[in-house]
């Protein structure tokens, strides 16, 4: 009797709930959604562009390709045909995933590894800290700790190797002009839209080999994983009907060779000494105190004995002649009117935190465990390369200059950080609390501001229609750190100028590389 009155609302409730449950869940994308596309240009003269590391686009030598009427080539074509005509679902999936611009996928892989390894080592039981050690990458802590300087450097070498490798590929492509398999044999189905770019050597193989080798050096524990990814990508070149074996082999020669050259630079660029020992760190701090009368100190519990990469400033720059030419002016001294104004401003933000400020602070935080601020700009680069349908060579160019500018920006920023050794707001303001984590390095200037301004300038040059958007992003990223409570406003504004100054050097090089 009464049960009826219970059961009905129950059923209604369950139906109502189920409707909610099954209608509100959002799709959670793990990668960019794009397919193969027609490139907005094919850059036949790309082989004449000026590479970054190579003397010329013919420095790396590959064999002269067999003629398309030769039996060797015809055998290759037959092998390709049999493989491409019998695809499993998995193979088709690989074709769809890698597309005809696999640089974008490799950048995603790089960002994923950055996020995976962007973990700061915690203290040991006895209060000491152990640093990641490339000689014992398993750790603990595992190597690397891909903090922003580490990440931007990895991305710069990746971009530069891909770029120089593709300039080389373009040189030979338009030297030998070997048509693509589907053009030499009409019965071969091409999985991707035909851009009419000659197939020897395979640009896809250059990308696979160079990306694999650079990233394996930067993330040694991922060597096997990266080898698998590269093998799949190279196979997909055949499955898609894009390249025969000799195209791929020649591309791989270039990719391996340019990676070797890039990694030789990396091994002697000074990064291995950036995380200096405590006595050196202490002397840097003491020098700043002598010079300016202030110093930054780590306030974690237990305190970290050395800040993050005090000697990143000594790492070899890409386009800036020396780090001093872009060093910003002395920050306002504690006690000065400008400094007191900033104290008020920071307290104002903290005491009146608005949803909008909090959202900006969080959106641009890109902190531990994420792809870092340089990674955020690489993501934009990927998205706009897709939007503007760049070919792989153009895509590599944007990534290369973007990451060189941001790496130089990072070097310059770290120079300012440890030259001035300026304290963080939390060191100076009694009882101050932040909504963002205070990083383990001095305040002035803000890394986010320098990275973002440098990145925005390069992106604006490469995608002029989007310039105001990128520059607004950079300003928002800069102020986000002030909203977060971990930077002074002059860290952000001066850092923005610093980033622009650095990028101007990068753009001077870009403007004369022959691409525009």
Partner 1 sequence: MKNRNTIFTFFISFFFCLGINISHAQTPSDAIMMNQRESCLAVIYEHSWFDEYWEGTYLRTNGTIETVKRDMVMPMIAIGVFDQLNLLVAAPYVKTESTEPNGGYFAGAKGFQDLSLALKGQIINKQLNIGTLSLLATVGFSTPMTNYLSDYRPYSIGFGANEFSFRGIAQYKMEKGFYVRGALAYLHRGQTEAERDYYYNNGSYYTAWMDVPSAWNYNAVAGVWLLNNSLKLEANYLGIKSTSGDDVRPYNAAQPTNKVSFDQVGISAQYYLNKPQGIGALAYFSHTINGRNTGKASMFGVGLTYQLKI
Q: Which residues lie near partner 1 (CB under 8 A)?
A: 2-3, 5-7, 9-10, 13-14, 17, 20-21, 24-32, 108, 111-112, 115-116, 119-123, 140-141, 299-302, 350, 353, 355, 358-359, 362-363, 365-366, 368-371, 375-376, 379, 426, 432-435, 437-438, 485
What is the rounded end-to-end Cα distance, in angstroms, of the chain? 84
Nearer to partner 1, 140 or 293 (CB): 140
Residue given tokens 């030297």 in the structure block: 175
Contacts of 175 (CB under 8 A, 6+ apart): 47
Residue 445: asked if its preceding bond is cis (omega within 30°), the reply is yes
In whole angstroms, the minimum distance from the beta carbon of 359 to partner 1 comes to 5
Nearer to partner 1, 119 or 287 (CB): 119
Question: What's the chain's length in residues?
Answer: 516
In whole angstroms, the minimum distance from the beta carbon of 17 to partner 1 comes to 5
Nearer to partner 1, 24 or 337 (CB): 24
In whole angstroms, the minimum distance from the beta carbon of 121 to partner 1 comes to 7
In whole angstroms, the minimum distance from the beta carbon of 241 to partner 1 comes to 30
Nearer to partner 1, 63 or 437 (CB): 437
In whole angstroms, the minimum distance from the beta carbon of 471 to partner 1 comes to 20
In whole angstroms, the minimum distance from the beta carbon of 337 to partner 1 comes to 26
Say how far residue 73 (Cα) sits from the centre of its chain: 38
Nearer to partner 1, 4 or 278 (CB): 4
In whole angstroms, the minimum distance from the beta carbon of 225 to partner 1 comes to 12
Nearer to partner 1, 32 or 87 (CB): 32
In whole angstroms, the minimum distance from the beta carbon of 360 to partner 1 comes to 8
In whole angstroms, the minimum distance from the beta carbon of 298 to partner 1 comes to 9
With contact defined as beta carbons under 8 Å apart, do 306 and 281 qualify? yes
Nearer to partner 1, 66 or 435 (CB): 435
In whole angstroms, the minimum distance from the beta carbon of 285 to partner 1 comes to 19
DSSP 242: S
Nearer to partner 1, 186 or 301 (CB): 301
Residue 144: asked if its preceding bond is cis (omega within 30°), the reply is yes
Q: Distance of CA 70 to CAs 36, 66, 73, 97, Å?
A: 30, 6, 5, 33
Nearer to partner 1, 48 or 370 (CB): 370
In whole angstroms, the minimum distance from the beta carbon of 369 to partner 1 comes to 5
Query: SS3 for 178?
Result: coil
- Reported in sequence order, the residue ranges of 44-111 that DSSP labels E, i.e. its strands, are none
With contact defined as beta carbons under 8 Å apart, do 410 and 269 qualify? no
- Short-list 368, 331, 347, 373, CA closest to 425: 347
With contact defined as beta carbons under 8 Å apart, do 106 and 251 qualify? no
Nearer to partner 1, 440 or 504 (CB): 440
Cβ neighbours, 10 Å, residue 428 = 18
Alpha-carbon distance 251 to 166, whole Å? Answer: 9
In whole angstroms, the minimum distance from the beta carbon of 147 to partner 1 comes to 13
Nearer to partner 1, 289 or 363 (CB): 363
Q: Distance of CA 387 to CAs 159, 381, 395, 398, Å?
A: 19, 10, 11, 13
Query: SS3 for 50?
Result: coil
Nearer to partner 1, 110 or 503 (CB): 110
- Short-list 400, 509, 514, CA closest to 171: 514
Alpha-carbon distance 281 to 468, whole Å? Answer: 40
Alpha-carbon distance 181 to 68, whole Å? Answer: 9
Nearer to partner 1, 329 or 437 (CB): 437
Q: Which two three-digit tokens encode residue 140?
A: 């603990």
Handedness of CA 260, 115, 408, 141 (dihedral sign): negative
In whole angstroms, the minimum distance from the beta carbon of 181 to partner 1 comes to 33
With contact defined as beta carbons under 8 Å apart, do 64 and 209 qualify? no
Give one DSSP letter per residue of 196-241, joined into a string: ----SS-HHHHHHHHHHHHHHHHSGGGHHHHHHHHHHHHHHHHHTT
- Short-list 252, 248, 204, 241, CA closest to 80: 241
């Amino acid at each position: 009797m009464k049960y009826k009155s219970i059961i009905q609302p129950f059923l209604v409730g369950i139906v109502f709930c189920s409707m909610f449950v099954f209608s509100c869940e959002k799709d959670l994308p793990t990668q960019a959604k794009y397919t193969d596309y027609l490139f907005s240009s094919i850059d036949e003269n790309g082989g004449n562009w000026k590479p970054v590391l190579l003397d010329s686009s013919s420095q790396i030598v590959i064999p002269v390709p067999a003629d398309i009427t030769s039996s060797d080539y015809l055998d290759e074509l037959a092998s390709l045909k049999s493989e491409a005509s019998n695809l499993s679902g998995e193979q088709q999936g690989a074709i769809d995933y890698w597309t005809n611009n696999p640089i974008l996928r490799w950048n995603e892989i790089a960002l994923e590894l950055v996020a995976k390894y962007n973990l700061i080592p915690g203290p040991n039981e006895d209060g000491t800290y152990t640093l990641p050690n490339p000689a014992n990458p398993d750790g603990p802590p595992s190597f690397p700790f891909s903090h922003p300087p580490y990440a931007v450097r990895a991305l710069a070498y990746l971009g530069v190797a891909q770029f120089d490798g593709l300039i080389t590929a373009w040189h030979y492509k338009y030297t030998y002009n070997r048509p693509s398999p589907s053009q030499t044999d009409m019965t071969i189905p091409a999985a991707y839209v035909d851009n009419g770019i000659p197939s020897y050597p395979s640009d896809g193989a250059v990308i696979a080999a160079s990306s694999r080798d650079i990233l394996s050096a930067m993330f040694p524990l991922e060597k096997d994983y990266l080898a698998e990814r590269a093998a799949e990508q190279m196979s997909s070149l055949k499955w898609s009907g894009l390249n025969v074996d000799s195209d791929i082999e020649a591309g791989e020669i270039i990719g391996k060779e340019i990676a070797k050259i890039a990694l030789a630079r990396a091994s002697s660029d000074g990064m291995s000494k950036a995380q200096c020992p405590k006595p050196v760190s202490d002397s840097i701090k003491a020098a700043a105190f002598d010079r300016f009368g202030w110093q930054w100190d780590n306030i974690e519990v237990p305190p970290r004995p050395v800040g993050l990469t005090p000697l990143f400033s000594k790492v070899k720059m890409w386009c800036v002649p020396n780090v001093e030419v872009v060093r910003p002016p002395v920050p306002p001294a504690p006690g000065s009117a400008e400094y007191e104004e900033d104290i008020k401003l920071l307290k104002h933000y903290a005491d009146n935190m608005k949803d909008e400020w909090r959202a900006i602070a969080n959106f641009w935080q890109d902190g531990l465990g994420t792809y870092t601020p340089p990674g955020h700009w690489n993501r934009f680069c990927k998205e706009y390369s897709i939007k503007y349908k760049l070919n792989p060579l153009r895509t590599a160019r944007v990534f290369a200059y973007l990451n060189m500018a941001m790496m130089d920006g990072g070097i310059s920023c770290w120079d300012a950080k440890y030259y001035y050794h300026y304290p963080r707001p939390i060191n100076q303001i009694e009882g101050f609390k932040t909504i963002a984590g205070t990083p383990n390095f001095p305040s002035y200037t803000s890394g986010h501001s320098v990275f973002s301004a440098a990145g925005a300038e390069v992106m604006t040059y490469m995608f002029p229609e989007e310039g105001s958007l990128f520059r607004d992003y950079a300003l928002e990223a800069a102020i986000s750190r002030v909203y977060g409570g971990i930077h002074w406003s002059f860290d952000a504004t001066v850092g923005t100028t610093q980033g622009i100054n650095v990028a101007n050097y990068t753009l001077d090089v870009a403007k004369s590389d022959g691409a525009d």
